Amino acid sequence: MATRRPGVWSELGLGLALVTLAAILLNGGMMWLVVRQRAIEQDTDAAILTAASIAGELERSPPDAYGAILESNPSSGADVALFDRDGRAFEPSTAAPLSASTLRRALLAREEQITETDGRLLVYTPIPRHGAPTAVLEVSLAPGLHGVTPTSLAPLLFYTAFTSAIVAAFGAVLLRSAIVRPLKELGDATAGIARGGFGSTVELDGALEFQDLAASLSQLSKALFDYRTDTEQKVAALERANRELSEAQEAVMRSERLATVGRLAAGIAHELGNPLAAVSGYVDLLSMGDTDPLTREEILERASREVDRMGRIIRELLDYARPGPGTPETLDVRTAIVEARDTLVPIQRLKGLAVTVDAPGEPTLVRMEPDRLHQVLVNILLNAGDAVDGSPDAGVSISVRAGDRISIACEDTGPGFTTDALVHATEPFFTTKDVGEGTGLGLAVSSQLIRAAGGTLTLANRTDRSGARVVIELPRAT
């Protein structure tokens, strides 16, 4: 995350303050140089005047009066010394002798020589100034701001403060007008676009770069407006298409329901027709009144069996039409298989059928209503038992494999599924059994119960040998 920095105006204000300070220092430095140069010029003029005044007196006096003249003409801040042609100082001065080069220049020049050595201003004047010089007058002065007073500095201070204020004020107005105000307008326009104000035009009175940025922002706003409009149109079209698709799906579902109702009605008529005809015939026989008791008892027993058969058909039909949600529980698949296998033990036609179970030793758990899973396993085992009925090597094997999902595979040694059965076996009332032997609802109901539990039921033929293979896959319980 980027470090939060001060606003533009704060940074520009700081920059302006630094520029103003730099201007103050520059102006002050320049003015200081001017004042210092002026002071040096004043000191130089004073030194020249002092040297000229003393030189005039020395020219009018004999050499033995030089000492008294030097003592009687002190200059404020200046040192005065007189040197002979050999460079030695006249008494009472104790100055060091002049160097030969300095002495030679002063004697030969015949006029004032001005130089600066070791920070002091030196003025050399030949004595006498007219004719052959016999001595050299030295006036030494340390230049400084001797003539500078607070009153003399007042104009300098006023000028510096005034120019600094002008720079600061002008800079503040210029920066605010040229940078801060356009940036704020651009920020407000961007915030408006971010709030959804697409299509707006950003107009800005500013520098060329800011105008270009405003034009780019206007183009972006227009592009976003066009994109939103196009998106809304596409969303509306998708919503219409979705509604039309939903209506088409509803129509297909209605058609499928009507077709299912037709198949169910035809199946019911077919399945209930024979037992109803038998019961009707039995009733006619009983109504004749000339049957003996044994025959009447047999007729009633047969009629009862046909009524039970009709009830079983209706119950299985209801199971297919509306299997209740029940209460799912966590079940061990191996336990459920063993219970289903034990349920088939009393059935006479399945006696002697070998049912082997291959399952992991640890529990393999699924979530399903116990009665529903039991019903599915019993239906599959019944179908497998009927398929291998009479086979010399009859056998049914059930294997369980555990992974992300629990797989239950039931294989038999019968003839397997026909091509037609693989396609339609899970449809209601489809059966390959003889009339009266099956209702065609067992696999249809089982498939629906497994789907309701989040699983799948698939049919196939064994590849290693003849026989059918039914595979159930259910989500693994955690």
Closest CA to 377 of 391, 390, 359, 389: 359
The percent of the chain in helix, strand and coil, each rounded to the nearest 5, is 60, 15, 25
Give per-residue pLDDT as tens, 108-132.
Answer: 766 677 777 777 778 888 887 666 7
Q: What is the pLDDT of residue 304?
A: 82
The contacts of residue 212 (CB under 8 Å, 6+ apart) are none
Residue 398's DSSP bridge partners are 357, 410
Q: Counting Cβ atoms within 10 Å, is residue 452 exposed (0-12), middle (13-18) or buried (19+)? A: middle
Q: For the purposes of burial, counting CB atoms within 10 Å of the CB of 236, is it exposed (0-12), middle (13-18) or buried (19 or more)?
A: exposed
Q: Can you tell me the distance from the alpha carbon of 459 to that of 454, in angstroms, rounded to the nearest whole number? A: 17
CB 382 within 8 A of CB 442: yes
CA–CA gap between residue 111 and residue 125 (Å, rounded): 6
Domains of the chain: 8-150 (3.30.450.20), 197-322 (1.10.287.130), 325-475 (3.30.565.10)
The answer to whether the beta carbons of residues 455 and 385 sit under 8 Å apart is no
Q: 59 CB contacts (<8 Å, ≥6 apart)?
A: 127, 128, 129, 130
Query: Please, are residues 411 and 460 in contact by the beta-carbon 8 Å criterion?
Result: no
Q: How far apart are the first and last CA of the chain?
A: 42
422 vs 219, 320, 370, 380, 427, CA distance in Å?
63, 19, 27, 15, 10
* DSSP 8-state secondary structure symbol assigned to residue 90: P
pLDDT of residue 161: 74
Give the whole-angstrom CA distance, residue 143 versus residue 295.
Answer: 159
Hey, what long-range contacts does 155-160 have (CB within 8 A, 24 or more apart)?
156/28, 156/31, 156/35, 159/27, 159/31, 160/24, 160/27, 160/28, 160/31
Task: Tell me what pLDDT residue 366 has.
Answer: 93
| CA 103/CA 85 separation, integer angstroms | 8
CB-based contacts of 62: which residues, under 8 Å, 6+ apart?
none
Of 337, 443, 321, the closest CA to residue 387 belongs to 443
**How far is Cα 284 from Cα 302, in angstroms, rounded to an integer?**
13
Neighbouring residues of 329: CB distance < 8 A, sequence distance ≥ 6 = 367, 368, 369, 370
What is the sign of the dihedral through the CA atoms of 416, 419, 422 and 427?
negative
User: pTM above the 0.85 mark?
Assistant: no
HSE, CB side, 13 Å, CA atoms: give it for residue 74.
Answer: 5
DSSP 476: B
Ranges of residues in the chain whose predicted pLDDT is under 70 = 1-16, 28, 73-77, 94, 109-111, 129-131, 143-153, 156, 206, 249, 252-271, 273-274, 312-313, 315-326, 345-352, 390-393, 432-440
Q: How far is CA 101 from CA 87, 94, 106, 317, in A?
A: 10, 20, 9, 140
- Other Cβ atoms closer than 10 A to 384: 28
pLDDT recorded at residue 260: 46
Tokens 């607070």 belong to 150
Going by their DSSP bridges, the two strands 365-368 and 329-332 should be labelled as antiparallel
By three-state DSSP, how is residue 165 classified? helix
Cα torsion angle, 280, 284, 289, 295, sign: negative
Task: Look at phi and psi of residue 119 and say left if phi exceeds 0, alpha if psi is from -120 to 50, else beta.
Answer: left
Q: Residue 240: what pLDDT?
A: 92
Distance CA 125, CA 110 (A): 7
**Helices 293-321 + 208-288 axis angle, to 10:** 180
- DSSP for 367-435 reads EE-HHHHHHHHHHHHHHHHHHTTT-TT-EEEEEEEESSEEEEEEEESS----HHHHHHTTSTT---SPT
Tokens of 121: 């201003």
Helix H or strand E encompassing 117: strand 113-117
